[in-house]
Structure 1
Amino acid sequence: MKLAETVTFGGSALDRAAELRGDAVALGRLAARPGARVVWLRGGEPLVEGPEEAPRLARTPLAEAPGTEPVFLGREDGEGVWAAIAPGEEMAAGGRRWVELRGVMAGLSPRDAELAVTAKAVLGWHLGHGFCAVCGTRSNVAMAGWRRDCPNCKSQHFPRTDPVVIMLITRGNDVLLGRSPGWPEGMHSLLAGFMEPGETVEAAVRREVWEEAGVRVGRVDYLASQPWPFPASLMLGCRGEALSGGITLDPNELEAALWVPRERLMRVFLGQDAQIRAPRVGAIAGFLMRKWLEDRLD
């Protein structure tokens, strides 16, 4: 899909400089430069600045981050950038503020979005994986924040990403939408589900659609992906062709599911449908639906 990387969090060609993660000397030199910067998170919320309609990820001098254990994110214009968990509330001053990432993700620049999604995912992983999964010993941060090492059994642990298939299932002029329990009133989206060990992407699409809605799927094609740090997923956007039309819900997964004609989906995105609300702005579900409406899924 030619437009795949234009999805929110789709990437900005950040130089992650992975070759420096194990080079303490080179990282030290980069950290000592006046241009070294750090981005901050607090409870998973990034620190931003600028106007509400166009927020920017705040960057402060790395020298202002004593006592923290920052994660090296990469280089911007040759200067290093790190991410750290804020030590307190005092950083939200002078126009800077903490925001919920879902609420601002569509307004961030591609670079700020990539930095924010990476920082949230990796820092969140450290918070939940402080102990060795093999022997239970407290592990140590290594490789500039991209690994944890167990001092007891010598096991190495790496940040995890959970693959999730999300699928645009069509049947002629209709697309299959579903609604999960607890969602805001009227909100509908594409069906999605976690992949299982030993499963291909295509098989996961067919299994999830059958389990959740009782619809058989034939041909499956990959379209685009989106890092989704809530908490640590990679959304694998696919298109599937339905072989059947009858819907049988799994009530544990879906509250409702229905076939929506292209013409009605257009009204949904225009805010002119009384029963169906479009997915959250910035989510890959809305991106795929819009490209389907525009006939741009190639």
Structure 2
Amino acid sequence: MDHQPLRDLPMTTSDIDRDAPSRSDPDLLATLLADPATRVVELRGGRASQRLDGALLRRPPEPADADSLLLYLGRLDGVAHLAACHPETPGPPVDREERLDAAPFVGLREVATELSADDASLFAAALGLSNWHARHRYCPRCGAATQIVMGGWVRRCPHDGSEHYPRTDPAVIVAVTDEQDRLLLGRNVGWPEGRFSVLAGFVEPGETIAAAVAREVFEETAVEVTDIEFVADQPWPFPASLMLGCRARATTTDVTCQPDEIAEARWFTREEFRTEVADGRVKAAGRLSIAARLVEGWLGRRLDDLG
């Protein structure tokens, strides 16, 4: 497989300085809100505002930001960046006379492949962190409501003093090929007819990446693999995963699907895959995800070119 398709993988490269030491300043957020040089990424319902030129809108602080969930994202070229997160869905578009460079709020899945590396990484960090806050408002030890500290990177329990940190769930995603260089693809039980992708699953406690790959592939298809190789990783804040892209070689080829997870799975030659995508029988994944890039590495061409 060629590594070229992974070089521009969204959300994986950025010059953001996360500036962790500054998070311990209890006045950090208030200070940054008072500084007009600070730039704010606004999220509403998990969607961010995009400028008309396609870039992520990074605006100066506004008074209403103090009432939102504020998160310190770090610095770009020395400029501090905050996320101001609101749980509600977007309202009407902003007044164009008031903010001429603003566009409607957009989801990360919609625009990640179009954003710059820095914009995509800022959006991913803000979305993943805000998702964690929405799901972890109470202490798992005593049930008390927790308080946000450390610039939004920690929740502290005022009752028992415990601290809780943002969680990321590692998941393996693997391109499995056999001795004929066919690729194994599966369709999840919740997916529409024709949608196929490489196999994936979460890493379990006590597992290595390689062990998780071998287990997931066998559980889902009864195919045994070897020569497991890590290729690349990708943040996936939907809501809080890190995708660990791998390749593996199959030592068996008989497929038996795990009925509660995989509706169907089969081996594809390159010609079969190209033909079935072209005639609409197989739906190719968008290039946002590492899944599509793993397929492209095997295929030797972009999926966008197959239609």
Normalised to the residue count of structure 2, the TM-score between the two structures is: 0.88
Q: How does 1:152-163 map to 2 (within 5 A)?
A: 152-163=159-170
Residues 274, 26 of structure 1: alpha-carbon distance in 2 compared, 3 angstrom cutoff: closer
Residues 255, 3 of structure 1: alpha-carbon distance in 2 compared, 3 angstrom cutoff: closer
CA distance in 2, matches of 1:272, 1:266: 6
- The alignment status of 1:74 with 2:80, answered yes or no, reads no
Per-residue displacement from partner, 1:151-173 (whole Å, max 9, x unpaired)?
11110000000000000001132
User: 3-state SS of the aligned residue for 2:17?
Assistant: coil
Deviation at 1:145, TM superposition (A): 0.2
Deviation at 1:25, TM superposition (A): 5.2
The percentage of counterpart residues that share the same residue type is 41
Deviation at 1:81, TM superposition (A): 0.5
**Structure 1 counterpart of 2:49, which letter?**
L
12-21 or 193-202: bigger deviation: 12-21
- The alignment status of 1:281 with 2:282, answered yes or no, reads no
Per-residue displacement from partner, 1:158-214 (whole Å, max 9, x unpaired)?
000000000000113200000112223321100000110001100100000001011
- Give unpaired runs (5+ residues) of structure 2: 97-101, 302-307
Per-residue displacement from partner, 1:127-147 (whole Å, max 9, x unpaired)?
111111101111100100000
User: 3-state SS of the aligned residue for 1:221?
Assistant: strand
Kept in 1: contact 2:222–2:256 (CA 8 A): yes
**Structure 1 counterpart of 2:11, which letter?**
F
Per-residue displacement from partner, 1:10-36 (whole Å, max 9, x unpaired)?
121211111111124566554433220
36-45 or 111-120: bigger deviation: 36-45
Aligned partner of 2:24 in structure 1 is 22
Residues 63, 100 of structure 1: alpha-carbon distance in 2 compared, 3 angstrom cutoff: closer
192-201 or 33-42: bigger deviation: 33-42
Aligned partner of 1:85 in structure 2 is 85
RMSD of Structure 2 on Structure 1 (CA): 2.1
Aligned partner of 2:300 in structure 1 is 294
CA distance in 2, matches of 1:38, 1:288: 34
Deviation at 1:267, TM superposition (A): 4.3
**Structure 1 counterpart of 2:74, which letter?**
G
Aligned partner of 1:9 in structure 2 is 11
Q: How does 1:29-178 map to 2 (within 5 A)?
A: 29-51=31-53, 55-64=54-63, 65-86=65-86, 89=90, 92-93=93-94, 94=96, 95-171=102-178, 172-178=180-186
Q: How does 1:239-258 map to 2 (within 5 A)?
A: 239-258=247-266
Kept in 1: contact 2:29–2:70 (CA 8 A): no
Kept in 2: contact 1:84–1:123 (CA 8 A): no
User: 3-state SS of the aligned residue for 1:209?
Assistant: helix
**Structure 1 counterpart of 2:69, which letter?**
E
CA distance in 2, matches of 1:251, 1:100: 32
CA distance in 2, matches of 1:229, 1:87: 16
Kept in 2: contact 1:5–1:11 (CA 8 A): no
Per-residue displacement from partner, 1:85-112 (whole Å, max 9, x unpaired)?
1377457323421222212221111111
Aligned partner of 1:223 in structure 2 is 231
User: 3-state SS of the aligned residue for 1:61?
Assistant: coil
- Give unpaired runs (5+ residues) of structure 1: none
Residues 261, 246 of structure 1: alpha-carbon distance in 2 compared, 3 angstrom cutoff: same
- The alignment status of 1:186 with 2:168, answered yes or no, reads no
233-242 or 72-81: bigger deviation: 72-81
**Structure 2 counterpart of 1:220, which letter?**
I
| Equivalent residue pairs, number | 290
Kept in 1: contact 2:5–2:296 (CA 8 A): no
